[in-house]
Structure 1
Amino acid sequence: MRDFMERLALATGLLARAGLWFSGIGLVLMTAFVFAQVFYRYVLGTSLFWAEPAAVMLMGWFIFLGAAVGIREGYHLSFDVLLYVLPEKVRLTLFTVSDLVICGFAVGMTKYGWELAIKTASTTMPGLGISGAFNFLPLVGGGVLLILFCIERILRRAVGLPTSRFGDDHEPLPTANDAPAAKER
């Protein structure tokens, strides 16, 4: 089981890295679109009709993908004060409870995001001319990643592997760059 979990961590590490790249590219594109819109409006006296809806759609993607990766890596906001005084076993149990709550939230995000996408699929986004479902697909994509990453964290903890979270970070999570090192163990 431990070997399977290490391979799973490498695969989800690649997925997390791709999510971060897409988030970063989306942030840069959104910034460029907003800058172009401001330049066109105030310097050229015209407007880019597609810039605002495209920027808003990109913002949804980089927020939800980035949040999912933040959860996986243990960098997301948390309140740890109580954890400093609790025994390790209780601390790990609370981490698992936290992951289960996040997973439940992600299931709702995915389910209701999908329902919203289906309901708006027949509409067209003004300025972009694409389906309104694209506004809600970040909820689905981010939710699916959150579910996957939470399950990975719970399973890793169950087999005694670290999850890079406070009190549970004996070593960092494997990433795509660690593949050769993982084979040496």
Structure 2
Amino acid sequence: MKSLLIQVNKAIDQFNRVVGWGLAFLLLTMTVLIFWQVFARFVVGKPLFFSDEIARFAMIWLTFIGAGYAYRKGTLISVDILLEYANVRFAYVLRVAVVLCSALFALIIVKYGFDLVGRVSNQTAPSTRVSMMWPYMAVPLGGIVILVNSVALLIDEILGKEHLKQAEHQPPEVS
């Protein structure tokens, strides 16, 4: 059972590696588009008509997908004063409860996100004429990333701190 949980966590870590590269690509795309928009407007004198809209869509995707990525990495803001002063058992129960609540919230985001995508799928963006389904699709997919990473965090809690220390000291696998 323990080895299965470790394998699931390794698969989620690989998933997060791909997500991280996707987020980096979105950030690069957004930066290049905004730079080019400013350059084209003030130097060339003819701005691109679509760059700000695509940059906005990239920002939406960065926000929703990045939230799940940051959740797994532990870089989201949190109030952990209760964990500081709680005994070990209560802190464990509290951490598991927080992960389960986050997973429930992610399920709600996924369900209502897909409902939202269905409602806006016949609308198009003004500049690019792209279906508004694509920017709104970031909502349920971000919820899925949060849900997947909630599973990983729950596995981390089940396996305990020793598992995390062993994972940090293992050499990277060569593929």
TM-score (norm. length: structure 1):
0.84
Deviation at residue 179 of structure 1 after TM alignment = 4.1
Asked if 2 retains the 8 angstrom alpha-carbon contact of 1:9 and 1:173, the reply is no
Deviation at residue 170 of structure 1 after TM alignment = 5.1
Deviation at residue 173 of structure 1 after TM alignment = 5.4
Give the length in aligned residue pairs: 173
1:171 aligns with 2:165: yes
Q: Output the aligned Cα RMSD.
A: 2.2
State how far apart, in whole Å, the 2-side matches of 1:141 and 1:34 are: 25
Pairing 1:7-156 to 2, within 5 Å after superposition: 7-156=7-156
For the residue of structure 1 that corresponds to 2:165, the secondary structure is coil
- In the TM superposition, what whole-angstrom CA distance separates every residue of 1:118-147 from its partner, at most 9, and x where no partner exists? 111112212222211011111111100111
State how far apart, in whole Å, the 2-side matches of 1:136 and 1:172 are: 39
Name segments (4+ residues, structure 1) moved above 3 Å.
177-180
Identity %: 24
Q: Name which of structure 1's ranges 147-156 and 133-142 shifts more when overlaid on structure 2.
A: 147-156
Deviation at residue 54 of structure 1 after TM alignment = 0.5
Asked if 1 retains the 8 angstrom alpha-carbon contact of 2:9 and 2:155, the reply is no
State how far apart, in whole Å, the 2-side matches of 1:128 and 1:172 are: 49
Q: Which has the higher helix share?
A: 2
Asked if 1 retains the 8 angstrom alpha-carbon contact of 2:16 and 2:69, the reply is yes
Instruction: Flag the structure with more relative contact order, 1 or 2, with Cα contacts below 8 A and sequence separation at least 6.
Output: 1
- In the TM superposition, what whole-angstrom CA distance separates every residue of 1:62-109 from its partner, at most 9, and x where no partner exists? 222221111112222111222122111111111111112211221122
State how far apart, in whole Å, the 1-side matches of 2:140 and 2:82 are: 33
Q: List gaps (5 residues or longer) in structure 1.
A: 163-167, 181-185
For the residue of structure 2 that corresponds to 1:171, the secondary structure is helix
Equivalent in the alignment of 1:165: none
State how far apart, in whole Å, the 2-side matches of 1:7 and 1:171 are: 16
Deviation at residue 172 of structure 1 after TM alignment = 7.0
Amino acid across the alignment from 1:161: G
Q: List gaps (5 residues or longer) in structure 2.
A: none
TM-score (norm. length: structure 2):
0.89
State how far apart, in whole Å, the 2-side matches of 1:151 and 1:76 are: 17
Q: Name which of structure 1's ranges 11-20 and 115-124 shifts more when overlaid on structure 2.
A: 115-124
